[in-house]
Amino acid sequence: MSLSGKSQIYGLLGDPVAHSLSPMMQNQTFQAHHIDAVYVPFHVRPENLSAAVNGLRALNVAGVNVTIPHKETILPLLDQIDPTARLIGAVNTVVNRAGVLTGYNTDASGFIRSVRQELKFQPEGCKVLLLGAGGACRAVAVGLALAGVKSIFIANRHPDRAEKLIDNLISHFPSVQFFVADYNDNSYLETLSGVDLIVNTTSVGLYGEKIKFLPLECIKGSALIFDMIYSLSETPLIKSARSLKLLCTDGLGMLAAQGEDAFFLWTGVKPTPGFMRRFLTEVGR
């Protein structure tokens, strides 16, 4: 990598960021497309987010990705919000245009593209269970609703958060059925046995812990498992699902898909199709 005085700076705001593959992936893509730029991770704790956003303007950072736990809290700190990101209520990509910071969300489009490619999932008319109710869940729910699913069940350890999320979405998607699924209710097991796709949108598994609130033995054999957590080996959820011969995938494909969309927003250049996904596959070997 050769940097100059004209090199553009891009990065990642999150807590943590040390595990992220985005810096390697985006820097490799900059090089492959002959763009004078560098992508670096910025470890930003929640109490420092406002200062970090101001720093983007002061240092003329051209753009950043935003990850846990800042996707929702960054919204009021930005100058403009793209309508899709506003609907989702979360931002994962920021573009700096002459000091004006605009927030976008590429998680929704990235998820749908990834689940179609990785699991051959056709959303139309299907039932989906989402674990979690944060910014990542909002993006996936919007993506699935736009893609035409029949019903979306949202399960969270705090059911009121799931209810609030549904209240925000239901008026925008009247043809989609939304339900709250309570981990502690017997009906939760019935929900597990009837859905076509289960998506873990929580951070559980990021440090190798198992998802105790997802008894895989209760789901139907044809159900698909999508873990938004990614790993160069296997996440605990993916390892458990494969041991039961369930069709599953982690978030590497989604990381690549949303990364492609962010790259285009920043540079106006569309990466070579499949380049980022192939790079991540090579890194994992």
Active site residues: 71
Rg (CA), the chain: 19
Helix (H, G, I), strand (E, B) or coil at 103: strand
CB atoms < 10 A from the CB of 228, how many?
27
Long-range contacts of 204-208 (CB under 8 A, 24+ apart): 204/229, 205/229, 205/235, 205/236, 205/237, 206/19, 208/236
Helix (H, G, I), strand (E, B) or coil at 211: coil
* Number of residues written out for the chain: 285
Dihedral of alpha carbons 117, 135, 50, 19, sign: negative
- Which stretch of DSSP H or E encloses residue 136? helix 135-147
